[in-house]
Amino acid sequence: IQLDFWLAPRGLGLPVDIRVPFPSLQAVKVHLEASGLSYSIMIEDVQALLDEEQMEMLRSSRQVPLDTDTFNYEAYHTIDEIYSFLDLLVAENPNLVSKLEIGRSTEDRPLYVLKFSTGGTNRPAIWIDTGIHSREWVTQASGVWFAKKIVQDHANNEGVASILETMDIFLEIVTNPDGFAFTHTKNRMWRKTRSKHSGSICVGVDPNRNWDAGFGDAGASGNPCTETYHGPYPNSEPEVKSIVDFVKSHGNIKAFISIHSYSQLLLYPYGYTETPAPDQQELDEVSAKAVAALSSLYGTKFKYGSIITTIYRASGSTVDWTYNQGIKYSFTFELRDTGRYGFLLPAKQIVPTAEETWLALKVIMEHTRDNLY
Amino acid sequence: AMELPEGPKARLDGTAVAVGYLRYLRGGPGRGLELREVRRARRQDIDDVGHKYYLELELEDVLDKDRTVSCTAEVLYPLGSKSSAPDVQVTVQGELRSTEEADQEFYNRIRSLEKELEAENIPDSHGNVPPELEPIHRLAWVASGFLIWQNSTENTQFHLAQVKRVKQVKRSDEDLQFDYVLLLHEMVSQEVLPWEVTVLWHPQNGARVSQS
């Protein structure tokens, strides 16, 4: 019968675990039942488990990818792996992609932004950031996918290739590297930066409450030990200040999109006040189109609206500041899911999430290009 | 009663409480209930009593995805009281798939374990749940459903972020006992906090949950 004992017989009254080859199943069942031995099935199909494990191992093999074609987009990566990816992408596409260092984090990690440009001087630009809240892992993973997608579209002269004819795209994938490293090493649920400000033993500032728009108003916390701590003053966080400085000195950014998870929402200003944004109607119309495009791929349902009416009051948030700087097309995404896995979205959902989100991003980018101001 | 505006503004509408309560009542190692859609949400302000939400929900059993189940729920947040749980009434239309076989299998498997079951981080950082721990994960949903129902106010929205730790405690009676540390994520404050909870479970008697 070829029984394979995984927990061998040890004595009367003690259980045994047996792997039974398929051809012997019936015979073993009959024997057990006839002898009045109770049993339960722990694993229905051992081979299925082995096949799955094999696939998993191949997929998440920690071999250093030699190029961005062998990079595994269906897995979550460490900061080192993503930073290597940036360099690979630039090396493979030197005429399209460059890497800018816009500052350093509290723990002195470089803050890198990819610039996608086909030329020109200071062209009107689109900014996309992912990972500002470090525990929102599907966002950094999607950012990596976006980077590759932009390069592919350009090579195939489709998709965003037409946008790149007249505009530049800036993409910051690991917007909060200290927090991201911390989620890998110490606390998967870490959200904030890792700054220590005097007067508190607690660490970190919420980088999405640290911007100079309604700073410190209701919708953020003054308690350093909370997740929505706004920090001692606006732009106290180098992760935030570096973007502020970049946006101001560039001077020609026309769309700004900050990506979070989870909740499946597309949001526009304001979060700090109930006063509707002057461009509310247009932003709402663009959002409706973007959400419809997103949904068309896998049926994922998104809601949309202003931050304060759709999610909650939030002060000092990124896109409220960028909007007040005159960047009309300022949006925040909250990607998959709606709470089933939350921050721990299974890796196999990374690519579908990135693919559907990209469709929404394209709607916003195309609208920006067609409505330059 | 005031009809809550479509979609976006209906964020804090008692849905998470209703789903939590349902998971507590009807969930188990063989059944995980998931919200598919909020069909309708209305709010009624009742003088001297509190705010009542009338919900029409569409749910699915994650082990029986081809079907959805409709359910109506009423969630009453009592006025002023921060320490009492919202009052929830639910009606499930139609039948949920039977879990008798799955429950018995799970029960037998756990009872026959040599060592008490112990596990951490479900799902793991990458969102993985090992298949043999899926029933334990679903039982955690039952426990978190209880916690969410008991601890929600009109200004909070909880989700189960992760099972930080689970430890089986062998008992001399017929029940299975699992001591959980659950991480709950609260949307408005964004806090992720650990909650200790004990679950007693038996195929015929269902789950009994107590906050530690």
Q: When comparing pLDDT for B41 and A289, which is higher?
A: A289
**With 50 as the cut, is the pLDDT of residue B7 above it?**
no
Q: With 60 as the cut, is the pLDDT of residue B5 above it?
A: no
pLDDT, one tens digit per residue, over B16-27 is: 999 999 999 999
Please give the C-alpha separations between residue A163 and each of A153, A258, A322, A365, B28, in angstroms, as whole numbers.
Answer: 10, 19, 21, 7, 51
Beta carbons of B183 and A311 less than 8 Å apart: no
- A300's CB contacts (< 8 A; 6+ apart) are A264, A294, A336, A356
Residue given tokens 């209701």 in the structure block: A218
Q: Specify the pLDDT at position A106.
A: 98
What are the pLDDT digits (tens) for B97-133? 999 999 999 999 999 999 999 999 999 999 999 999 9
Instruction: Give the DSSP letter of residue A218.
Output: B
The answer to whether residues B57 and B19 touch, using CB atoms and an 8 Å cutoff, is yes
Q: Is the dihedral of CA A349, A351, A354, A357 positive or negative?
A: negative
By CB neighbour count within 10 A (0-12 exposed, 13-18 middle, 19+ buried), where does A80 fall?
A: exposed
DSSP A11: S
Whether residue A77 contacts residue A208, with contact meaning beta carbons closer than 8 Å, is answered with no
Mean pLDDT of B72-86: 86
Same domain, A139 and A12: no
CB-based burial of residue B168 (10 Å sphere; 0-12 exposed, 13-18 middle, 19+ buried)? middle
Let me know whether A18 and A145 are in one domain: no
Peptide bond into B77 cis (omega under 30): no
Per-residue exposure over A102-133, b if at least 16 CB sit within 10 Å of its own CB, e if not: bbebbeebebbbbebbeeeeebbbbbbbbbbb
Rounded to whole angstroms, how far apart are CA atoms A334 and B203?
39
Contacts of B153 (CB under 8 A, 6+ apart): B77, B82, B86
CATH number reported for the structural domain that contains residue A210 in this entry: 3.40.630.10
Which residues in chain A (193-252) have CB-CB distances under 8 A to chain B?
206, 221, 226-228
All residues of chain A having their beta carbon less than 8 Å from the beta carbon of residue B190 are 191, 206, 227-228
Inter-residue contact A203 to A196 (CB < 8 Å): yes
| A129, A200 Cβ separation under 8 angstroms | no
In a shared domain, residues A8 and A100: no
- Searching chain A, which residue's CA lies closest to the CA of residue B194? A189
Residues of chain A short of pLDDT 50, as ranges, are: none
Does residue A188 sit in the same domain as residue A249? yes
Average pLDDT value for residue range B137-163: 95
Same domain, A56 and A109: yes
Q: Where are the alpha helices (DSSP H) in A16-134?
A: 25-34, 46-59, 79-92
Q: What pLDDT does A62 receive?
A: 60
CB A111 within 8 A of CB A319: no
**Which residues of A form the catalytic set?**
334
Mutate to test the interface with B, among A343, A348, A351, A353 (most CBs of B within 10 A): A343
Neighbours of B127 (CB within 10 A): 20
For chain A, the domain total comes to 2
- The answer to whether residues A33 and A54 belong to one domain is no
Shared domain for A17 and A138, answered yes or no, is: no
Contacts of A370 (CB under 8 A, 6+ apart): none
Q: Are residues A115 and A25 in the same domain?
A: no
Whole-angstrom distance, CA of residue B170 vs CA of residue A135: 35
End-to-end CA distance of chain B: 38
Buried b (16+ CB within 10 A) or exposed e, A216-233: bbebbbeebebbbbbbbe
Q: Give yes or no for A303 touching B (CB within 8 A).
A: yes
ipTM above 0.90, yes or no: yes
d(CA A312, CA B7): 14
pLDDT digits (tens, 9 = 90+) for B160-177: 999 999 999 999 999 999
**pLDDT computed for residue B10 by the predictor:** 44
> What is the rounded radius of gyration, in angstroms, for the C-alpha atoms of chain A?
25
Do A31 and A108 have their domain in common?
no
Residue B154, pLDDT > 90, answer: no
- Supply A219's token pair: 């919708």
In terms of domains, do A88 and A188 share one?
yes
Helix (H, G, I), strand (E, B) or coil at A325: coil
Same domain, A159 and A279: yes
The closest CB to that of A304, out of B8, B131, B188, belongs to B8
For residues A34 and A67, membership in a common domain is answered with no
Q: Does A344 touch chain B (CB under 8 A)?
A: yes
pTM of the model: 0.87
Domain of A35, in residue numbers: 4-42
Cα–Cα distance measured from residue A62 to residue A72, given in angstroms and rounded to the nearest whole number:
10
Q: Is A5 on the interface with B (CB under 8 A)?
A: no
All domains of chain B in start order, with CATH:
2-211 (3.10.450.10)
Which of A14, A221, A303 has the CB atom closest to B8's CB atom?
A303
Taking the C-alpha atoms of residue A315 and residue A208, their distance in angstroms, rounded to an integer, is 8
